[in-house]
Each structure stands twice: as C-alpha cells, then as structure tokens.
C-alpha cells in the first residue's frame, strides 16, 4: 500500500491551496467568475468524452497526432483535434512541439489498466443517466424530493435494477471509489483485532476484500441485495477472497447477519433520510453483540464555510436518493436514536471519515 501522508499535513496543504484558489478567483471580475463557474459542465463533458472514446488508452504507448488518435478511436480527425486542444488546455493532455498529444498525470489515471484508474468514475459521472437528474436540480430544491424520481419515473434503486447497463457502470464506479479511499482509511484504523467482519451494502465486495487483506486472520460476510450478490461472487472469486467470505442477501431494513464483532458500512447511511437511517441502524443494533463495533465510513460536513466535497455530495444525495450528508453532531444524534453512541470520529486525508460506533448499554 502506498505511503499516506499524515492528515494534519494534508489539511494544512489544503488550507493553503484554498487560500490561493480564492485569491486567484477574486482577481477576475465578478461576471467572469460566474461564467467560469457556470461553464464548469463543459470541462466535465470534455473529460467524459475523452474517456468514453478511449483516448487515454490510445495514448498509453506514447504521443500521437490528432489524426492518428482519430483513427485509433474511430473519430472525425478535425473534431478529435478540437477535443484534444480543449482537453490539453485544462491539463488533461499535453501538446508537444511536434503537434502530438500525450498523457499527463491526470489522463494516466483514465487508462483502463491504471492501478488507481478513475475511468469507471468518469464514465458514471458523464453518463446521461447520471447527468439528467442533475439537470433537474431546481425541482429537487423546490420540492425537497429526488429529481431522479422525476426523470426516471421511479426511485434510483429501482432504476438501477431495471437498467443493467447503467447498473454495471454505477457498480464499477463504486468499486473504483472504494479502492481510491481505502489507503486513507487503512492509514488511520486497525481492522486486525476483529474476527468476523460484516460489510453491509458492500456492493461487489471491494471494501471487504481490502479489509480482509489488512486483517488476514478474519473472516468476512458480504450482505447485499440479491441483484448484486452474483457480481460480488464473481469479483471475490477472481481476486481469491471468496473462500474467506460468506455471501448473504437481504434488506437491511429487515435483518443483517447476527453476532459479528465488526459491522462496516461505507457510504450507505448517506443514501437515506434520518428516519430510514435510524431504521437501518436499529436493525444492526438488534443483531450486533454488546461488545461489537460498527464502523461507518462517511463524509462529515464541516459546520463552517470551508470548502469540502461533502457539501456538493449532499446535493447529489438529495437528487438521487433523498438522502443527505451530515455533520458530526447530526451523526451523534442519529446513532443515539438507534441505541448506539459515537466512540470516536477519525478524519482521513480523503473525503471520508471513520465514525466508530458502539452499542449503548
């Protein structure tokens, strides 16, 4: 696992970075600032189109002309050149003195075979199924209801179950994000004291795989919906972790596996409003032994005006699931309603915090 810098060092670096960003932004006239912010979707689609076409993979062997890239990705040469020029202007590609385009540190993460590939995440963020509900943000703000319900005609989770193509895109992105976050979690939390670890709503099993690698004497249980279990079995089988796992399917509103000493949920609670979140936590409380531990991996919203991805992700939760990101105080209130108490909140250098929860006795 790559060395992760201390949290306090990253926090100091981010503080300086944000100060410089704000200073740079204020140097532009206010109308220009508004234009740059409002036009941010253009850069998002530039990154998506480049990734969807496979341009980073086409450049993995070295710089190429726009014409050669167009041939490799079956694109129009002039249009491909214009896309590359725009992408290079934001640092996605690099234009050399021979008129060829090459990879940069950013675009290397969009190659299919990159260890830290962001390709699955970008393919989700730019997908029309993800993009369209964001176009109805005004509806969500006016009604307090998920705009995804309006766009899809059904709740997000039903839409995923009925749309196999986007469900695969979504699950691949969640797996990639779990892998991206993992080193920052492993740097601050020790999983080795636990014997049986249940990952609730663990998707394809990436997080459970990583936890079991970090805790080689533990066994694991993946608890998921039936529609995801088959994909999880394939994934865990391919990576060699399946012999140490039990796969169970069901609804965490009804039941979860009994008697484990550690239960883990990564970005599950934020999908739900407070009452539903309490119902989920209460289900766990009925199953967890009094000596057990629940680890909730979620973003914690700062209560000041500092920049934090959780503040944007909070709108994402409103749009797609009717859920929310929460402050530390809100988490403490939430778990108390379900018979738990927060024992500690551990920040990481990513957007996640490790919220350790114990049963109230």
Q: In what order do the strands lie in the sheet with 219-224?
A: 245-249, 219-224, 196-200, 262-266, 293-298, 353-359, 340-347
| Residue located via tokens 């079956």 | 74
**pLDDT score, position 4:** 78
Cβ contact 182:350 at 8 Å: no
Cβ contact 267:313 at 8 Å: no
Cβ contact 104:92 at 8 Å: yes
User: Is 270 marked active-site?
Assistant: yes
**pLDDT score, position 139:** 98
**pLDDT score, position 2:** 55
**pLDDT score, position 90:** 95
Say what the pTM is: 0.87
pLDDT tens across 153-174, in order? Answer: 999 999 998 999 999 999 899 9
Structure tokens given for 83: 């896309």
pLDDT averaged over consecutive 10-residue blocks of the chain (361 residues)? 71 71 75 85 96 98 97 97 97 96 97 93 97 97 97 95 92 90 94 98 94 97 91 93 96 96 97 97 97 97 89 96 97 98 95 96 78
Phi, psi of 171 (to 5 degrees): -65, -35
**pLDDT score, position 28:** 78
Give SS3 for 179: helix
Residue of 21, 81, 98, 270 marked active site: 270
**pLDDT score, position 13:** 72
Q: What's the chain's length in residues?
A: 361
Tell me the H-state helices in the chain: 7-26, 30-38, 40-53, 55-58, 66-73, 77-89, 105-108, 119-125, 128-134, 137-143, 147-152, 156-162, 164-186, 206-214, 226-238, 274-287, 309-320, 328-337
């Amino acid at each position: 696992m790559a060395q992760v810098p201390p949290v306090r060092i990253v926090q100091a670096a981010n503080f300086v970075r944000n100060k410089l960003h704000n200073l740079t932004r204020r140097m532009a006239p206010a109308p220009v600032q508004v234009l740059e912010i409002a036009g941010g979707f253009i850069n998002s689609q530039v990154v998506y189109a480049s990734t969807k076409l496979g341009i980073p993979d086409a450049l993995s062997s070295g710089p190429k002309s726009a014409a050669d890239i167009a041939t490799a990705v079956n694109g129009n040469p002039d249009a491909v050149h214009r896309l590359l020029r725009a992408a290079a202007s934001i640092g996605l590609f690099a234009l050399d003195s021979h008129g060829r385009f090459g990879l940069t540190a950013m675009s290397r993460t969009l190659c299919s075979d990159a260890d830290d590939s962001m390709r699955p995440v970008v393919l989700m963020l730019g997908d029309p199924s993800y993009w369209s509900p964001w176009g109805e943000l005004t509806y969500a703000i006016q009604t307090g209801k998920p705009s995804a319900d309006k766009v899809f005609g059904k709740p997000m989770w039903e839409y995923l179950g009925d749309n196999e193509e986007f469900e695969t895109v979504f699950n691949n992105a969640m797996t990639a994000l779990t892998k991206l976050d993992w080193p920052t979690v492993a740097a601050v939390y020790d999983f080795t004291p636990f014997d049986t670890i249940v990952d609730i709503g663990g998707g394809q099993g990436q997080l459970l795989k990583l936890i079991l690698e970090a805790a080689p004497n533990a066994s694991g249980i993946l608890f998921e919906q039936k529609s995801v279990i088959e994909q999880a079995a394939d994934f865990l089988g391919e990576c060699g972790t399946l012999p140490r796992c039990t796969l169970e399917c069901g609804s965490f509103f009804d039941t979860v596996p009994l008697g484990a000493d550690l239960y883990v949920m990564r970005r599950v609670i934020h999908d739900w409003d407070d009452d539903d979140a309490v119902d989920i936590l209460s289900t766990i409380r009925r199953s967890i032994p009094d000596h057990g531990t629940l680890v909730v991996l979620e973003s914690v919203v700062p209560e000041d005006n500092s920049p934090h991805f959780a503040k944007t992700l909070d709108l994402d939760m409103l749009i797609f699931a009717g859920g929310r990101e929460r402050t530390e105080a809100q988490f403490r209130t939430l778990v108390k309603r379900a018979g738990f108490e927060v024992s500690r909140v551990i920040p990481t250098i990513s957007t996640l915090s490790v919220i350790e929860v114990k049963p109230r006795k």
